Structure 1
């Protein structure tokens, strides 16, 4: 277990500085999502699947629950995998609460569900918990197959907490190929939050 909820916390002003850049992860390209950035309002699910919204949010690189501040998503590309990295800064126990909410949603939505991101429908199947990388105070992971625009791609999401900051990493692979999660991206982001 880690220290208290303030251990490793960064200020609202320091959150942007904690986002990884190209120099932090050699061999990868890092680009801001810019106008393509996804916000919580861009992600929707049906009324029947409303309990699955936290899963859809994290998969889209959107922090779960109420945050004090967030970073614009960074897209990190390398070895055929594109990973969206977003940081959320929470008040008090908010980070733990967000992870508990996501964990509960994963159990509820393991069979899969439909979501929409910026109006584009997605079908999520084979949603299941997976092993998370080590090193953070708290971490969890899940995988899914996401069908959109007629193609099915493998996705792995890793969510980890360092103090009051929660990192969201959503890695998207190539259709028909096994996805290997880029642990170097996770490690680089963890170092920036140290």
Structure 2
């Protein structure tokens, strides 16, 4: 995989960081837990005699989002102004890829209007350096970007809508395996390749996927997304770590964030 130098990638990513929020996601490796807590393959389906699920409201979902102080070492923000405000603001060249693009934009991957979202960012303020500008090295610049921000989206569904949303994400993986392009706010981004990622096994179903994104001609970068179902609620997680990318690594979803958020949905 092609990579630019650390400082160059950081500079490019810093300029395009807000638009990068919009472009990530594709391949999958799902898991589903049975009644004994073991994992099943992504192709399995669930059946239950439980009463049909009832969707939560947007206001109820807002209360279920992680709040300040609930994840040690992270700070919570209401959201990211660079994210598209609605599904209608996002255009995808392949309609089958829309559930994935919605998931990375912290929008509902399924058919519902009940949603909420925020951002959870590593807080390294206590470790902030005190070097003067002339003493800052390329390594210092890369370290400054070595912070993961996770876009978190919650959506809720009536009946089996949450399960259908998960299936929509899984089904779109095959259709998007060769990549896709999307646009929002006049900017176009391209995903060039799709690879599988290991799902966490959280919730009743979980699907993880990674996209290889074109960084405006400055090489490529790998970003990870995970979608988890807990009852009638679907949580989406998209991790962005520019420092990790600059060092040749992948941008992943922190386990501490996904675990804390899914635990709050139970």
Query: Could you state the TM-score of these two structures normalised by the residue count of structure 1?
Result: 0.87
Q: Does 1:41 align with 2:99?
A: no
Query: Taking structure 1 as reference, are residues 91 and 121 closer, same or farther at Cα in structure 2, changes over 3 Å only?
Result: same
State yes or no: 1:192 paired with 2:264.
yes
| Residues 28-77 of structure 1: CA deviation (Å, up to 9, x unaligned) | 1211126434221222112xx22111121112222112114101x21111
| Contact 1:5/1:163 (<8 A) preserved | no
- Structure 1 segments unaligned to the other structure (5+ residues): none
* 1:164 aligns to 2:236 (yes or no): no
> In the alignment, what sits opposite 1:104?
171
Cα distance in 2 between the residues matched to 1:82 and 1:32: 13
In 1, the alpha carbon distance for the partners of 2:64 and 2:77 equals 15
8 Å CA contact 1:81–1:173 kept in 2: the answer is yes
Aligned to 1:114: 181
If the length of structure 2 is used for normalisation, what is the TM-score?
Answer: 0.65
Q: Aligned pair in 2 of structure 1 residues 51, 146: CA closer, same or farther (>3 Å)? A: same
CA separation of 1:191 and 1:168: change in aligned 2, threshold 3 A = same
Q: Which has the higher contact order (CA 8 A, sep 6+)?
A: 2
1-structure distance, mates of 2:105, 2:215: 13
Distance 1:128 1:60 in 2: 19
Q: Which runs of 5+ in 2 are unaligned?
A: 1-33, 36-47, 123-145
Q: Which has the higher strand share?
A: 1
Task: Give the Cα–Cα distance (whole angstroms) in 2 for the partners of residues 85 and 98 of structure 1.
Answer: 16
Q: What RMSD in Å do the two structures reach over aligned CA positions?
A: 2.2
Decide whether the 8 Å contact of 1:140 with 1:160 is kept in 2.
Answer: yes
Equivalent residues of 1:143, 1:154 under 8 A apart: yes
Q: Does 1:139 align with 2:206?
A: yes
Count of residue pairs the alignment pairs up: 190
